[in-house]
Amino acid sequence: MRFDNSNKTPRHHIIIGGGIVGLATALTLRLSGNDVTLLERDAPGHGASLGNAGTFATYAVSPLAKPSLLRQTPYLLSARDSPFHLRWRHLPRLTPWLLRFITEARPARVKHNVEHLTYLMARANDDWQRLLDAADAESLVTRLGCLYTFQTEAAWVQAVHEHDTLAWSGIHYQVLNAKQTADLEPALAGKVKGSIWYPDAGHVADPLILCERLRQTFEALGGTLHASNEVQRLSPQETGVVVNTSTEQKICDHAIITAGIDTPRLANTLGDRMPLEAERGYHLEYPMASPLLQRPCCIAEYGFYMTPMVGRLRVAGTVELSRASDPANPARYRYLERAMDSLFPELGAPSSHWMGCRPSLPDTLPIISSSAHTRRVHYGIGHGHLGLTLAATTGALIEADIHNQAPPWLAALSIDRFR
Ligand SMILES: Cc1cc2nc3c(=O)[nH]c(=O)nc-3n(C[C@H](O)[C@H](O)[C@H](O)COP(=O)(O)OP(=O)(O)OC[C@H]3O[C@@H](n4cnc5c(N)ncnc54)[C@H](O)[C@@H]3O)c2cc1C
């Protein structure tokens, strides 16, 4: 492996948090010849990045905050079988996030957010390719696209209409009727009214194995990992940053915070504020020797994906607004189980259950920027539903920003938008 440090002076960087975003950032910076230390509180890849739906969702340029979602909210909040759940007792704490979410649904903000998601998505596959090549991990990725399917004709027609208005973003999609959908995925015959197919999307055989492959490559290339090492405080100085963990003190040129949902605690030590909340998601897994589906299939009305992974089908999704530290809500597992029973009763009971916290900002855009107070600390956080898809791009953009080579549009992803 040759390092590419052609136009950059190597520096010592500390990455805080070894989820998919931290791992991708650590490997990106190491590939450029930097001295990189990754500090992880637990084990790399075991946070939100462990249990996701595994989809490289490069088509997802439509933000969550938009008028159509606000119109559906009364139904989503009141229906017994809803993919959305709000823990009412946390409403006072969630209110600032929710108010900003509503503000972001104004047409001008939706346009702005689509535009910036489009910038990110346009390069996501290329940024990932560099890391997949370095980690010899291309075999973990299947490129058969992704299907967004609909149980009712009305929902399908509405989605097609929304896609027409997104045509300018350049995402590739095809509208398929029920028969065309079943031609692509025979297991869905008779189960959906239509779908939208995103042929450029891919999926990973197992998100944890991908994290593991990035970690191995990072270490094999001379990167340093300190697991079971929680960072407690950062103190920027003129010439570097002092990073204090539970056991030691380290000094680096730049610190990069990729600590997912736990970021605000560290950000507070720097005086940075952000409206980061947990959109908790759930998954079930059904073991199977041969795959039921070839590609991730989202059942839009149910709010989850069914993704074929090694030796199993993972059913992952739904949104629960709650406190990150609350225990998993058994009712959310039952919701997924009932939905799967109605779709594929032959699958029987799932073999495993999982809940994780998407670190989400109310405008569906991540923060990829330096701290509001120092250029020596950067954030790569708040990827919500898109952390796997955008991890490699986040690492590449942070590196560009450290070297003052970021594209002008990155300014819109700054932490300053929440001041
Ligand atoms: C059900 C579900 C389905 C999803 N499906 C998809 C999908 O198909 N495609 C997609 O792109 N995205 C998907 N996502 C979103 C994606 O999983 C997340 O956006 C992504 O995992 C966030 O990664 P992260 O690295 O920011 O956070 P995490 O994976 O949570 O990593 C943060 C890490 O920081 C560590 N940490 C925290 N504080 C400290 C500290 N003080 N010191 C040291 N370490 C610390 C934690 O231990 C953790 O390992 C899904 C999410 C869920 C829940």
CATH of the domain at 353: 3.50.50.60
74: in domain: no
Mean pLDDT of all residues belonging to the chain? 95
b/e map 230-260, b = 16+ CB within 10 Å? bbeebbbeeebbebebeeeebebbbbbbbbb
What pLDDT is attached to residue 388?
98
* Ligand 1 geometric centre to CA of 28 (Å): 18
174: in domain: no
94: in domain: no
Mean pLDDT of 68-86: 90
- Condensed to tens digits (0 to 9), the pLDDT of residues 172-229 reads 999 999 999 999 999 999 999 999 999 999 999 999 999 999 999 999 999 999 999 9
* Ligand 1 geometric centre to CA of 411 (Å): 23
- For the question of whether the overall pTM of this predicted structure is more than 0.85, the answer is yes
Ligand 1, atom 16, residue with closest C-alpha: 387
Strand partners, 150: 194
75: in domain: no
- Condensed to tens digits (0 to 9), the pLDDT of residues 233-285 reads 999 998 999 999 988 999 999 999 999 999 999 999 999 999 999 999 999 99
Binding pocket residue ranges, ligand 1, CB within 6 Å: 16-22, 39-42, 46-49, 51-55, 57, 230-231, 258-260, 262, 266, 281, 283, 316-317, 356, 358-359, 381, 383-389
92: in domain: no
User: If DSSP codes are grouped into helix, strand and coil, which group holds residue 318?
Assistant: strand
- Total domain count, the chain: 1
Let me know: does 403 contact 13? Beta carbons within 8 Å: no
* Ligand 1 geometric centre to CA of 177 (Å): 35
Which of 40, 206, 314 is the pocket-test mutation for ligand 1 (most atoms within 8 Å of CB)?
40
Which distant-in-sequence residues (6+ apart) come within 8 Å of 289 by Cβ? 311
Q: Which atom of ligand 1 is nearest to the CA of 357?
A: 53
Asked whether the predicted pLDDT for residue 290 surpasses 90, the reply is: yes
Question: Could you list the residue range(s) of the whole structural domain that residue 38 is in?
Answer: 12-67+106-145+200-418
Rounded distance between C-alpha atoms, residue 193 and residue 189, angstroms: 9
195: in domain: no
What pLDDT is attached to residue 166?
81
3: in domain: no
118: in domain: yes
CA 31 to chain centre: 23
Mean pLDDT of 100-118: 96
